[in-house]
Amino acid sequence: MRLDTSSGRSRLRNLIAAATGASLRELMGRMGHSTTRAALIYQHRTSERDRLIAEAVSKLAEQELSRLIGSSGTPRG
């Protein structure tokens, strides 16, 4: 990626925004696009994002299990 061009700098800004978790709609707004096709280019899967997503899902699952089981150790409805 060439950073000495306006499009290169714009691409880098959009890649960074996507890496921070910007939604597809947010990327579209930043880039001024009305369709998802171009914005999808910037949403790359990374191992760090995979790890963060897995941690968030695990936390939600643990909270739900704690709520369902409670302090008695038996499931609640």
Question: pLDDT tens across 17-55, in order?
Answer: 877 888 888 888 888 888 888 777 766 666 677 788 889
Where are the domains positioned within the chain? 1-44, 45-77
Question: pLDDT tens across 60-73, in order?
Answer: 999 998 988 886 66
Place of tokens 């880098």: 12
Please give the Cα distance from 45 to 18 (Å, whole number): 10
Higher-scoring residue by pLDDT: 9, 57: 57
For the chain, the residue count is: 77
Regarding pTM above 0.85, the answer is no
What pLDDT sits at residue 61? 92
What pLDDT sits at residue 67? 87
Q: Are 39 and 27 in contact (CB under 8 A)?
A: yes
